[in-house]
Amino acid sequence: MKKLALFAAFLLFASPALAQQQQVASNAVSPSQTSNAYRLGAGDKMHITVFGEETLTGDYEVTASGAVAFPLIGEVPALGLTPEELSRSIGTRLQRGFLRNPRVTTAMITYRPFFILGEVNNPGSYPYAAGLNVTSAVATAGGYTYRANRRRVFIRRAGETQEHQFDLNSGVAIQPGDTIRIGERFF
């Protein structure tokens, strides 16, 4: 009888924790959501941790050639990979003769910059911030000039060769490495 009472008390106290675990599991990212995950590019800086290996843990940058120079294993291709894919790639390479069961994580420090040119007061490159849109990018560049066309914007996405035209009122999201061009109005 005592065991049954103890078990009932356990369930009473454990049920909120179990409900919280179920809630966390239901909020997990599905594979379809990860298809739009951030892809690494030249200039991205990240902190790579190899658990239990302080000499390998540190800050790394994706070079212009699209690789990360990593101790022991040399250059690891990173261009177009997600941070999680880079972690797996590094772990796989470390497992080939260096570590038994490496656990590797990658955390972003800074993203590559975005570029803005045309009819803004201070054209140039600026650090990317999460949630950036065209309006915020223009504000970062000092606002519009008096000649700016405030109805449309031209954006060349990182890795693409062609510009795409967008209405300025659409709240277009900016990604790291994008080039934004604010055109001139004609009247």
Please check the confidence at residue 156 and state whether its pLDDT lies above 80. yes
Domain ranges of the chain: 36-110, 114-182
* Inter-residue contact 62 to 79 (CB < 8 Å): yes
> What is the b/e burial string over 142-169, where b = at least 16 CB atoms within 10 angstroms of the residue's CB?
eebeeebbeeebbbbebeeeeeeeeebe
Please check the confidence at residue 29 and state whether its pLDDT lies above 80. no
Residue 169 confidence (pLDDT): 77
Q: What is the mean pLDDT of the chain?
A: 83
Residue 170 confidence (pLDDT): 66
pTM reported for the whole predicted model: 0.67
Report pLDDT digits (tens) over 161-184: 999 999 987 688 999 999 999 999
CATH topology of domain 36-110: wza like fold (3.30.1950)
3-state secondary structure of 40: coil
Residues 17-34 have a mean pLDDT of: 33
Strand 124-126's sheet: what is its strand order?
Answer: 124-126, 114-118, 179-182, 152-156, 164-167
Report pLDDT digits (tens) over 67-104: 999 999 999 999 999 999 999 999 999 999 899 999 99
Residue 122 confidence (pLDDT): 97
CATH topology of domain 114-182: Outer membrane lipoprotein wza fold like (3.10.560)
d(CA 41, CA 78): 7
Q: Which residue has the higher pLDDT, 67 or 11?
A: 67
Q: Which residue has the higher pLDDT, 54 or 27?
A: 54
Residue 131 confidence (pLDDT): 87
